[in-house]
Chains A and B, each alone.
Chain A
């Protein structure tokens, strides 16, 4: 500051001298520093290329006729003198449909991609983006719906299972009834659950699966399968110490020795029809849980005059007192 004042005292003004910049030394130092930083900070190639592209795009997308400078353009003025109107085209009036309004855009190609590659890439990208968008939308809008559906599904599955159990029980009862030992059987079942179960298993495993109505055949099949798996697992465990390893076959060994050593494999008779294909059951299982439940309920009503929802049997076909076949009607 002081030096500035000194200068003022000593200054002899010359006419053409340009005015002094109004900048303090501090400001000046800061400005220089800032400028130095910008200069020292060389822009990367990518940034430069992007800037170039941007500038080019900006220039390309702006019509010269719309530009503010167009008003002062001598070229445009000359054209106006020849009768050119803004928004018009060149050439004969009869040929206006062939006249260009916009100049041709130069398309820069910086790789060797073939024709259609860019649009193919773009199309694929668009597809991915679209899919992603769709997925997000599903999540947002249908989450509650899905949860609800899943819960309902689970509930229906459990109801199906319960209905199957009812079928089985009804079937047993019917059989017992048919055998004329209705009371006995009832007593027996009431007497000991475990005993009844054992007996049931026996009777069922001997009965061919195919003879069980399809609506609840699944229950029995699943149980049989579980039983078979259990047995096989047991067998495996029993023989695991020996049979899985290479064994030394001793011809001199006695049959009894073998048994004593656990070398004799115990074989169980498999339930033959477990391995069989059962398209009828597969078809039934492929149905929605709700549909299966509906079929089961109908089956129970028809065969046993039993309403799954009322949880009770009826005397005759009319099933008087039952409000209907759907759950809602029982609410």
Chain B
């Protein structure tokens, strides 16, 4: 059986196949001699390893705290004793003083009481669904319980725990490293998109769900792991959904692989049913009751209503911090300012206490995000009313960040959500109503430290009738082109029957397949082309990947690498509300008249120039209204992509900057990836997106394009009450016919007669020119 699996796994190296064999042997032994006193030390396969890496640690020597442990047969009592021992069972080093302090608090967590119950279920079942509300300690404790049972340092298969967010993966890994008294990056590590902090000794690895998916592309059986924990599964990110479907298949191929699906909400039944009626373990959270208030009438303006409610709480309610949920950066900053002003007035007029207001959103620099943990201000005078803090946040404070001290939650009921509709072919962030589950989660945030209150800015009737039960999983709200490419690379042949928990609409897949076909990543039979296989190596959208791969043909791969990196990070240009004019003036310094992509490239080149001269780049960015953080992270992304380019044998070349074709080449390369995102000017300022898209759009006000060029390529379709295209660059229609002849095949063209005529004229001109050249 082992052999056949190894053959299936294909191109895995010798070392990995040997570790494969090792996993099987303990399983077999347990089955045949369940009460055997044999120690793992006597395993002949392990002896090979002991000589290699672990020998000096003396892990299974006489005094080893784990000497009586048997893989997948340990008990909570054994683990309790091992944890209380003087020496660290994994490093052999004596435990630090800090360790015992943390250990005590760990044993107060709700999940600790059920450790034996957990182990019983875990050892019995292959797949386990675990429900623990926030504050139960599941994210930090369960992986450690698994480590003590799996003994990954002996069988050399890791335990993985996925997180939807990079920040969570990093911070939880750090926390667990402290709890286990080991160094981060050694026994406990993390792996996120552009950072891998693991080592040869790593036994517990926190990682983003996207990273595990990437790994699966190279190792279709996930053979490096003996147990995979999918945390925060209730968030239903795209990667988690695909991992669930994938692991559902793999667990059937690999009976030794264990899977734990952890969720914070009580809709676990769906998970159970999906995973062959897996057993469920539920641990109560440590939360206090939260009183919920509704408004009698719907709000006319939810932002105003929110500000009013915050001020009322501040004026009338007892001590405790406030958490207000809003939708986006601009709205949050604006509201913070307004609340601060109003509070100042409140203090002048009545004897209200002080209140500090903090914004919180994903693109906020980390040191500013950290400020939300500052204690609330002191009373203005002795015996005066206590101060409080108010955090105005996007829905990142809903699940991922836990802020203690919050007693009041104000919930207008909206969040920004990604929506993709294949009929419009637009993926956009839209302000949408949240779900009931989301509203409950938000309210729950008020009960972390003591009984709290949640103020919902909508009526109870609206809550019951207008909110959907669960937030739509990301897979239903995304363009699947990238996912389909990944699945193809993962070896999934039958995409139609791929067993997803919430299969998306068939049209979404149809569009994705079409797009990949136009990009030549899939052939007409639906098979992965060499280009597609290469594109899947890039952690990018297929169009960007294809653009990068073809850039050497246009002698501009260095430049395209920069542009791709710049498009992968948030907005470079900072535009503070009070200094818009200055910011725009600075932006004009970098302006390239033919496009935003080229302007961004100019910014990057200038930035690199400053860095290379050893000047203070941070100061320079500040002066030029640029985001140092995003530019640095673009630089980092670029380095990563460059490595992938090199491993794929793609040349890194540039056209001479003084060549008149320097920018033309770049613009042509853009077309190779974005020929499906082209707009033609209709009249005045109105453009129309081409072919099936066929929507009237305007250039986003942030564009540097001054003249109204007839043909442009765009990076993003912005769907608000108006329709915009953002990040736009001028192109020439000849390139469309030349570089994307299948997509712009005029013989099969339907609809948009004027565009067809225009393209036909271009084609005729090209033919004439070719004929003239040929004739000469």
Contact = CB atoms under 8 A, between A and B. Distances in A.
Measured as residues with beta carbon below 8 angstroms from the partner, the interface class of chain A is: 35 or more
Contacts of B509: 75, 79, 90
B614 interface: no
Interface in A68-95: 69-70, 72-79, 81-84, 88-93, 95
A311 interface: no
A22 interface: no
Interface centre among A49, A78, A83, A102 (most CB of B within 10 A): A78
Contact of A103 (B412, B423, B457, B750): B423
A301 B326 CA distance: 81
Contacts of B302: 112-115
Contact of B424 (A49, A84, A106): A106
Nearest to A45: B722
B658 interface: no
A82 B424 contact: no
A81 B297 CA distance: 54
Interface centre among B458, B497, B719 (most CB of A within 10 A): B497
A-B pairs, top 5 by smallest CB distance, nearest first, are: A114-B299, A116-B462, A91-B503, A110-B721, A75-B513
B500 A103 contact: no
B499 to A, nearest CB: 4
Interface centre among A82, A83, A89, A107 (most CB of B within 10 A): A82
A26 interface: no
B517 interface: yes
Interface stretch (B24-32, B71-79, B108-116, B522-530): B522-530
B422 A64 contact: yes
Contact of B510 (A56, A62, A76, A102): A76
Contacts of B413: 114-115
Given A106-B719, A109-B431, A117-B300, A95 B696 contact: no
Contacts of A56: 424, 695, 723
A60 B695 CA distance: 11
Interface in A118-173: 119-120
B462 A92 contact: no
Given A78-B526, A92-B499, A99-B503, A114 B301 contact: yes
Contacts of A95: 274, 499-501, 503
A274 interface: no
A111 B432 CA distance: 12
Interface of A: 16, 18, 39, 42, 48-49, 51-52, 55-56, 59-60, 62-65, 69-70, 72-79, 81-84, 88-93, 95, 98-117, 119-120
B303 A65 contact: no
Contact of A55 (B517, B696, B721): B696
Nearest to A64: B507
28 contacts: A16-B771, A42-B683, A60-B423, A60-B424, A65-B506, A75-B510, A75-B517, A78-B517, A79-B513, A81-B525, A82-B495, A92-B503, A93-B497, A95-B503, A103-B420, A103-B422, A105-B421, A106-B424, A106-B430, A108-B719, A110-B721, A113-B300, A114-B298, A114-B302, A114-B457, A115-B298, A115-B457, A120-B462
Nearest to B515: A75
Given A52-B696, A91-B502, 9 more contacts: A55-B694, A60-B421, A74-B524, A76-B510, A83-B496, A84-B496, A103-B420, A108-B721, A115-B458
B179 to A, nearest CB: 38
Interface centre among B457, B499, B503, B511 (most CB of A within 10 A): B503
Interface string B738-776: 000000000010100000000000001000100100000
Given A114-B305, A115-B466, A117-B300, A99 B502 contact: yes
Nearest to B270: A98
A82 B498 CA distance: 10
Given A74-B524, A113-B302, A64 B423 contact: yes
B494 interface: yes
Interface centre among A48, A81, A90 (most CB of B within 10 A): A90
A74 B526 CA distance: 9
Interface centre among B507, B526, B694 (most CB of A within 10 A): B507
B188 interface: no
Given A82-B497, A103-B423, A117 B299 contact: yes
Contacts of B511: 64, 75
A60 B719 CA distance: 14
B755 to A, nearest CB: 15
Contacts of B428: 106
A160 B722 CA distance: 72
A90 B498 contact: yes
B613 to A, nearest CB: 47
A72 B414 CA distance: 41
Interface in B424-465: 424, 426, 428, 430-433, 457-459, 461-463, 465
A329 to B, nearest CB: 58
Interface residues of B, number: 82
A77 B768 CA distance: 37
B513 to A, nearest CB: 4
A47 to B, nearest CB: 11
Contacts of B764: 18
Contact of A83 (B274, B497, B683): B497
A90 B686 CA distance: 38
A37 B737 CA distance: 32
Contacts of B501: 95, 98
A292 B230 CA distance: 84
Contacts of B514: 73-75
Contacts of A69: 692, 750
Nearest to B460: A116
Contacts of B522: 78
A74 B513 contact: yes
Contacts of A92: 497, 499, 503
B748 A72 contact: yes
Contacts of B647: none
B512 to A, nearest CB: 7
B504 A103 contact: yes
A193 B548 CA distance: 119
Nearest to A55: B695
A107 B430 contact: yes
B508 interface: yes
A65 B514 CA distance: 13
Contacts of B423: 59-60, 62-64, 103
Interface centre among A16, A95, A107, A116 (most CB of B within 10 A): A116
Contact of B720 (A78, A108, A113): A108
Contacts of B407: none
A191 B498 CA distance: 114
B564 to A, nearest CB: 26
Contacts of B606: none
B510 A64 contact: yes
B147 to A, nearest CB: 33
B376 interface: no
B477 interface: yes
A89 B274 CA distance: 17
Nearest to A88: B506
B695 A110 contact: no
A75 B463 CA distance: 40
Nearest to A82: B496
Given A59-B694, A109-B430, A114-B457, A100 B462 contact: no
B477 A104 contact: yes
Contacts of B315: none
B430 A113 contact: no
Interface in B676-734: 683-684, 686, 692, 694-696, 719-723
A243 B132 CA distance: 91
A13 to B, nearest CB: 16
A78 B513 CA distance: 8
A120 B522 CA distance: 49
B662 interface: no
Given A113-B298, A114-B413, A100 B503 contact: yes
Contacts of A102: 505, 507
